[in-house]
Every structure is written in structure tokens, then in C-alpha cells.
Structure 1
Amino acid sequence: MTKHISKCLLAILIALTACTPKLTDIEAICENINDSHYIIKWEVWPDVHGHVDIYASTDPKKFDLESQPIARCKISDKICDINVDKTPQVRYYFLLQFNNRYNYIVATRAPRIKNICNLRDLGGYENEQKKVVKWGFLFRSGCIHNVDSTGTKKLNSLGIRTLIDFNDHSRFSIPDSGLKIGQIKHLPINLITTSHIYERLKNETLRRGDANIFLQDLFITLIDSGKPLYREMFDILLDEDNYPVILSDKFGKDYVGFASALILSALNIPEETIYDDFILSNQYLDRRAISFDCAECSTDTQEAATALMTVRKRQLFCAIRRIKQRYGSLQQYLREEMDLTPEKQEKLQNILLY
């Protein structure tokens, strides 16, 4: 009788376990209020009961799951306030473990570092095969040369091994020796039109429409003019020893914006997500960073300056449309012009995707 009851209980337990819904999709975001206070929000599909354990680490590749989680919540809460040690020079990553089975890593999109504009992590984007770009592997930013001592410590905590700098020769300079970057790859994209447009701005002959057309044409020009340098960029990205990598130009929005779009496309990130990342520069770029004080200029000149510092979806859209007209698809452009064979693309995805 006892054995029969035990078998029945075991059968019931197995049945209940089998009926527990399998999580097919998890989405989470992380916002930092300050250096020690974070808010994590999540959604899961289908809805399941249970708990989520949250672990923190300063290394996105290492989480101590044997230790006590820093927080435990009901999955149905969908939000958790996290407080960690206040260490300004450290960046935290978080691993969410749902019902001791499903792991999801998340971090803030933009590490806060003073005097570095438009710095953000390209991690967390989901591709068409439900794989996710690894956090802490690939960053994009504006110029990093004006960072202060606290910012230097925080930037060093990212463990950057390779800086790919797209600034032209007139804007390029070696970062401060305090920045512990393994190697600097200077890939200058020199376009005469860029200096010409800023001269027109200073002479107050540039108008908002001119600025919009200039930026739109700039991205189309990069399709051909940037080919050798972006091809070299992919060669760097195909070496796993070069990571983490940071892509940089003056404001982190033009040459870096096009580079990021190519990389995300190579990872099979949906096109709309690529556009979303592109226009995020409007959120993280300080428009006052332009090297021209136009406070005393005419309204037309001020509007033109604002246009130069604004990212619009159409700028990238026109370039991608031109690529599709000429090559058929972004993937074909990557194969023909970036020498990104299917084997190389698979290698890149293995490096950068969970």
C-alpha cells in the first residue's frame, strides 16, 4: 500500500512538473537611478508562477550562482528595486534566474561616465533567431579623450581591450595614459565635405535643410568611402581576443552609427531594432557638445547647428535603401564589400551572441 501511494505521489509530481509552462520569451530592462540604485523590470511569456533570483557581477561573463542572490522576487512582480555597494568606478551587470531554470542577463544601456557623450552598450538586442547580443562586449561612444579621473576608473572597469577610433587625423589623439586600453586601432574616415559644412556653419550660411541633406548624403557616401575601414573593423571584431571593443568618433553618431548598423545587421538583428539603436543618440548626445558657440548667432544658424547634432531615422534609412537597390540586401553588401563570408558571419555571431 505504501509503495502504491509513493508511486502515485511521484506520478502526480511528474505530471505537475510537465504542466509547468516553459518560458519561451523573456524581456528585461535595467535603469540606474544612481551608482548604487537600480530598477529592473521584466516580462515573461507565457505567464508563469514562481520566483526570480537576481545576481550582480562586475563581469558579464562571471556570476556566482552559488552565492546568495542580492534579491528574490515573485515573477508576477515584474519589477525589483536593487541596491548595491556604492562604487562610482564600477559597472554592474545582473543575471535574472527564473525558477532556477531560465537565465537572462541585463545591464543599463548607457554607463554614466562624465565627459563621454553618447556612450552605450550594444548588448541586449535580440536577433531573429532569439539570440541576444552579449552585454559588456561591444560599446559605442563619442570622443573619450576628455574623461576625468573618476570617469577613467569607470571606463577602465569596462575592461576595454580595443579602441576603434574613426576620427579623422585632425581630431584624433592618443587617449590619456591612465586609460588602460590594450590597443588603439585608428581607422580615419576623411571626408572633405565634413570640414566644409562646419565652415559654412561658422560663416552663418548653413541652414537647417542644408544640414539635414548633408547628413543624409554623408551616410550614403559611407557606403563606398567607408568600405576599406569598415572591412578592417570586421577583421578586428573577428578576433575574440580583442574584446571588449569600443567604437568611437567625435560624437558617436555618424561613422559609429553606420558601423553599429553594419554590425547589428551581421548579427541578424531586425532592421527596426537597428533604427531604434541609431536614433538613441538623440537621448544620450549632449547637443551642446558641438565645437561652435552659436548662442549669439541668428536663429537660422542655431537651427542648423541643432540639425547637425540630431539623428534622424531617414539618414540611415536612405543609406540602407541605396544598399538594397545596389546589392539586393544588407547581407549581400556585407558579403561582397566587407568580405563577411557565411563562415566569418557565423564566427562573429558565436563571439557576440548568447
Structure 2
Amino acid sequence: MGSLLMAAGCSQEPSISFFCESDRAGNYILKWEVSPKDDDDEIKIYMSKDDAGFQEPPVLTTSVNDYVATIPTGDPIGRHFFRLKVNKTFSGVISNRVFKTDSVQNFRDLGGYNTVTGKQVKWGRLYRSGELYELTGKDKNMLDALGIKTVVDFRDHEERLQYPDDYQAQKIIHIPMYTGNRAYVREKIIDGTFYRGDAIIFTQDTYKTLITDYSEEFAQLFDILCDEANYPVLIHGYLGKDRVGLASYILLYVLGVSNAVNEDDYLLSNSNISEEQVMGEARFLPERMQEAATVVCKVNLSYLNYAKTCMINKSGSIDNYITNELKLTEDKKEKLRQILLY
């Protein structure tokens, strides 16, 4: 499990940047950078199972020059949150972003990011992932522990029929978006008639279709996210990278996360999708066929930029697309900020 290196989002000095990951045994590894700092400065680490409150005393006090600490919790299922303190300066709330799973691709928390206005996206409210097909017992326990209340499934009818979700949340909402016959594409890759160029065109066409034909479906998602009673929410597709990737990008954009950080979140799919699990025997194919498989299983900023160009072509700007096509009024945007920002 892991997260990006994040700044504290605090105007006071010193500035604290952090990184957090955890393992299946419940150990958290915290890494930090403090600037400016004195060599004799101490860093205090506070831990809580509730991101809304942190109590004295800290679980660990150590030198800022240690840069890393491992915090064992003895709890492989429960979620833990942290804050760092140097002198009188606190970091933002810290937790792991990525979850190691046995049967789910690309499962991660959309929280933790700082906005350009100094706010922070709340942890534990909104998750994103691939499909929930044939979950292991461990993965079901993880979802239960996270308290997932609403699952939003972007897969189309055929995808859901062939690979039904194996998790029963209180609310399961289907918002189907057709992105091509994945079994057909996989078969074409394996039989050697679908190459890298074909895969790139296929993916670009998918992103264009999502922007031009499915604005009502994305608007439906944001209406769901504007209802605080639905949280915590998990949105998923097949691999959680294209339909979910665009939805996540638009949401973080609305919340005020910088474009650079937003793009980094989009690219995190590349390190959290197992091409071997997705394509199986394709990894033994000749290189030119493997290149096609990689395109299908991964994301690239060129696809995201193409989607943004499609938004601009359709509405004149990304902001206009969000307002006019996705029906995200200023009131709805403010509601999302109230629900999802510290």
C-alpha cells in the first residue's frame, strides 16, 4: 500500500511533506521531509483510528533526521491515520492510499491530496478500484472494515453479467458506460491481429466516447456524491483506470487539487494493475503483441489530455463542460467541497 509524497498544506514553517504505506500485517511505514529544519528538531507522530481526532501522547517521538519510521499496529484489517508535528507545526492527515488486495485491481483511496486553497481531501470517503469479481475472504473483510456503503459500478450489462460483483454493499448503483468488448480485444491481441497502434486508437476512441456520449452518466455519479448519506463510496469499472480515471480526475479538479497532483493520481493506475493477471498468457507473446497488451492495461497522460481536448471542443473549456454537460452547479460544487474536504 502507498501514497504520493504530500505537502502538509500549512502556511506555517516548517513545511512537512510525507509518504505513507502499509502492509497486510498492519505495519505503517511513514516517511517525511521537513524544511527548513534544525538538526536537533524532533518529530512527533500521532496515531488514531479516527481521522477527525488525534490525542496525546504521540505514539513515537524521534529525530527529524531519521526521515522514516515504522509504526506496528497489530491490526491488519483496521484503518489508521497519522499526523506529524515538528515544533508547533502539524502535517495534514496521513494514511495509506493504495491497498494490497488478492483479487481487486487498482484499489485505492482518493483522499489525502492538498488543494490549491490549502484544504485537504478527506481520507476514507471515496475509493476507486477495478471490478469486485470473485473476492477472497481477506478482501471482503477489508471492504467491510472500510465501511463501504455505496458501490457505483460503471461496467456495462455484459461485463456485469460475465463478471458479477462479489460484494453486497447497502447500495449498489449501476451506471453503465460501454467501452468496447474487452474479451474480443483480448482475443485479438492473443491471436496477433491487434497491435500497439490499434490499441492506442481503441483507447482514444474510448475516451472520446466517454466525454461525448456519457455526460449524463457522469452527472448521475456527481449527484450521488452530493448526497452525504451515500458515503463511504466506492466507484469501480473493469480495471478502474479509464471510466473511473476520468471521473476521479474531474472530481479532484472540482475540489481544487492541482493539475500536476491530479495527473499523478491518474497515473497511479500503472503501478496498481497487474498486466499478468489481466492478460495471462499474453506475456509470453512476441514483443509487438505485448505492447498492445500494455496499452490496454495501462494509462497514459496522452489519453487524459485527449479527453480534456474533447471537453474543450464540446463546451469551450473544461469548466464549461463540467457546468453545462455534467450539471455541476456552483451549489453542487460547494456541497462536494463541504463533504470531501477537511
Tell me the TM-score normalised to structure 1 length. 0.84
Unaligned runs of 5+ in 1: 1-20
Residue of structure 1 in register with 2:317 after alignment: 329
| Whole-angstrom CA distance in 2 between matches of 1:198 and 1:145 | 18
Residues 211/174 of structure 1: CA separation in 2 closer, same or farther (3 Å cut):
closer
Contact 1:202 1:292 in 2 (8 A): no
SS of equivalent residue, structure 2 residue 219? helix
Q: CA deviation at 1:57?
A: 2.7
User: Is the counterpart of residue 60 in structure 1 residue 51 in structure 2?
Assistant: yes
Deviation digits for residues 257-306 of structure 1, max 9, x if unmatched? 11111111111212222211111111111012325633564443332122
Which of the pair has more CA radius of gyration? 1
In the alignment, which residue of structure 2 is the partner of 1:41?
A: 31
The one-character-per-residue Cα deviations of 1:170-225 (angstroms, maximum 9, x if unpaired) are 1226543xx46221111110245656544533543111111012112211221122
Which of 69, 76, 90 lines up with 1:81 in the alignment?
69
Instruction: Identify the range of structure 1 (110-119 vs 298-307) with the bigger mean alpha-carbon deviation.
Output: 298-307
1:97: Cα distance to partner?
3.5
Residue by residue over 1:93-125, the C-alpha shift from the partner in whole angstroms, topping out at 9 and shown as x without a partner, is 212244355352111120222211111111121
- The verdict on how the C-alpha distance between 1:193 and 1:116 changes in structure 2, with shifts beyond 3 A counting, is closer
Equivalent of residue 158 in structure 1, options 135, 146, 159: 146
Distance in 1 separating the partners of 2:179 and 2:284: 29
**Counterparts of 1:193 and 1:153, CA distance in 2:** 31
Instruction: Give how far 1:157 is off.
Output: 1.0
Q: For this pair of structures, how many residues does the alignment match?
A: 329
> Is the partner of 1:285 in helix, strand or coil?
coil
Residues 305-334 of structure 1: CA deviation (Å, up to 9, x unaligned): 222112111011111122224333222211
Contact 1:142-1:249 at 8 Å conserved across structures? yes
Map residues 115-194 of structure 1 onto 2, 5 A cutoff: 115-172=103-160, 175-176=165-166, 179=167, 181-192=169-180
From 71, 75, 78, the equivalent of 2:60 is 71
* Corresponding position of 1:99: 87
- Bigger drift between 148-157 and 24-33 goes to 24-33
Aligned residue for 2:92, secondary structure, equals strand
**Aligned mates of 1:343, 1:47 — CA distance in 2:** 42
2:8 corresponds in structure 1 to none
Q: Confirm or deny: 8 A CA contact 1:156 1:180 kept in the other structure.
A: no
Q: Within 2, Cα distance between the matches of 1:96 and 1:203?
A: 53
1:34 to partner: Cα distance: 5.1
Unaligned ranges ≥5, structure 2: 1-10
Residues 175 and 100 of structure 1, relative CA distance in 2, 3 Å threshold: farther
Shift of 1:71: 1.0
Matched with 1:18 is none
Which residue pairs with 2:217 in the alignment? 229
Q: Partner of 2:16 in structure 1? A: 26
The ranges of structure 1 where at least 4 consecutive aligned residues each deviate by more than 6 angstroms after the TM superposition are none
The equivalent position to 2:302 in structure 1, one of 314, 320, 323, is 314
SS in 2 for 1:31: strand
Q: Which amino acid aligns with 1:43?
A: E
Q: Which residue of 2 aligns with 1:258?
A: 246
Farther-moved stretch of structure 1 (78-87 vs 336-345): 78-87
Q: Deviations over 1:57-112 (max 9, x none)?
A: 33333x3414x3211224x3362413323222223221224435535211112022
Q: How many angstroms apart in 1 are the aligned matches of 2:251 and 2:113?
A: 12
What percentage of residue pairs aligned between the two structures are identical? 33
CA 1:240/1:46 → structure 2, altered by over 3 Å: closer, same or farther?
A: farther
Aligned to 1:282: 270
Q: Is the Cα contact below 8 Å between 2:190 and 2:285 reproduced in 1?
A: no
Pick which of 286-295 and 184-193 moved more. Answer: 286-295
Question: Normalising to structure 2: TM-score of the pair?
Answer: 0.87
SS at match of 1:280: helix
Contact in 1 for aligned 2:276/2:283 (Cα 8 Å): no
